[in-house]
Amino acid sequence: MESLVSRADLESLLATLERQTVDPRAGLFGPNSITWKISRESALFLGSGRAALLQLAHPWVAAAIAEHSTVLNNPVARFHNTFRIVFAMIFGSRDQAFAAARHLHTLHTHIRGELPEAVAGWPHHAHYEANELAALCWVFGTLIEGAVLAYESVLPLTAMEREQYYQESRTLAALFGIPSSALPADWAAFTEHNRSMHESDVLGVNAKARAMGEAILSGAGSWIHPPRWYGALTAAWMPPRLRDEFGLQTNDRVLTRAVRWLPCFYTALPATLRFVGPYHEALARLRGRDENWLTRRNNTFWIGEPLLPFRSR
């Protein structure tokens, strides 16, 4: 066990963010941020499968999901729960972002246990806790890297924008309870760290994690069944070693077709569909307007509710 993030640690990070906030209504990022530019895109869903599998490749995460989650019975609910928190952090007001951070930390305090078997470099009965710093960094890293990978599959992103996004992501990391000192200094160091993790014995896939991965990619237990091209993208984007351990099969023909038509199809979508509901809700808030019915329906798809949580009463 390296270091647990306490509630006091989180509150210290939030106090720093509070002093840095320019407009509390705009939240911690705002409409001029690269974080809003990237996170508003529905295309980020393209990277969700990769992020989920990389998280499962950490034995702590796989054990925690198996013992404390209903992901196999209701993957859509897990999808909604994840995006409800993350979008509140990104597109919510400052108070909403802080409430989401505190809510997530409280949830994590109840997620602890022991590994049911030895996996990779972890021995049988190794203790895990969701609020452990290194584990939080890994989950956070899969989300950030996956977002950039998905965005760049349909839209261009300059090296400067990529670096700016990573630097802004330090604010999001603080909401997870992760201090800047625990993160690589820049995008290049971040991606290099991830590559080293992919080859390390910190990660490893056992039969349970493989079964959960298959369930997620097949849409088991839900009405959503990802198409073949989604599976092809996910397999192609996975690190080779972990792709093999999850038993994923590449499909070059399907992948080539998807890479060719996805950008054209995606950029032709109207903004009402292309941009996620929480982004539209944030714009309405800043303009002093009520959310329209389309935003509410869009939100329901992404977060399972018509409005972002933790709103001021």
pLDDT tens figures, 71-98: 656 777 778 888 999 999 999 999 999 9
Question: For position 157, what pLDDT does the model report?
Answer: 97
Question: For position 194, what pLDDT does the model report?
Answer: 97
Share of the chain above pLDDT 90, in %: 88
Q: Is the pLDDT of residue 64 over 80?
A: yes
Q: How far apart are CA 206 and CA 63, in angstroms?
A: 10
Q: What is the mean pLDDT of the chain?
A: 94
pLDDT bin (cut points 50, 70, 90) of residue 131 is very high
Q: One-letter amino acid identity for 55?
A: Q
Could you identify the residue written with the tokens 């989920």? 52
pLDDT bin (cut points 50, 70, 90) of residue 217 is confident
Q: Is 125 helix (H, G, I), strand (E, B) or coil?
A: coil
pLDDT bin (cut points 50, 70, 90) of residue 145 is very high
pLDDT tens, residue by residue, 91-101? 999 999 999 99
pLDDT bin (cut points 50, 70, 90) of residue 219 is confident
Task: Give the range of the structural domain holding residue 209, as residue numbers without chain letter.
Answer: 7-268
Q: How far apart are CA 251 and CA 256, in angstroms?
A: 9
Question: For position 70, what pLDDT does the model report?
Answer: 66
Identify whether 77 is part of a domain: yes
Question: For position 19, what pLDDT does the model report?
Answer: 97
Identify whether 307 is part of a domain: no
Identify whether 54 is part of a domain: yes
Identify whether 192 is part of a domain: yes
Identify whether 1 is part of a domain: no
Q: Higher-confidence residue: 106 or 2?
A: 106
pLDDT bin (cut points 50, 70, 90) of residue 220 is low
pLDDT tens, residue by residue, 267-290? 999 999 999 999 999 999 999 999
Q: Higher-confidence residue: 80 or 2?
A: 80
Question: For position 226, what pLDDT does the model report?
Answer: 86
Alpha helices in 110-247 (DSSP H): 133-152, 159-175, 187-198, 207-218, 228-237, 240-245
pLDDT tens, residue by residue, 101-122? 999 999 999 999 999 999 999 9
State the number of CA atoms in the 13 A half-sphere of 106 facing the CB: 7
Identify whether 313 is part of a domain: no
CA-wise closest residue to 272 among 248, 298, 254, 250: 298
pLDDT tens, residue by residue, 181-192? 999 999 999 999
pLDDT bin (cut points 50, 70, 90) of residue 313 is low
Question: For position 61, what pLDDT does the model report?
Answer: 93
Question: For position 143, what pLDDT does the model report?
Answer: 96
Identify whether 303 is part of a domain: no
Q: Is the pLDDT of residue 1 over 80?
A: no
Identify whether 299 is part of a domain: no
Question: For position 79, what pLDDT does the model report?
Answer: 81
Q: What is the number of structural domains in the chain?
A: 1
Beta bridge partners of 112: 129
Question: For position 95, what pLDDT does the model report?
Answer: 97
Q: How far apart are CA 104 and CA 107, in angstroms?
A: 5
Question: For position 42, what pLDDT does the model report?
Answer: 96
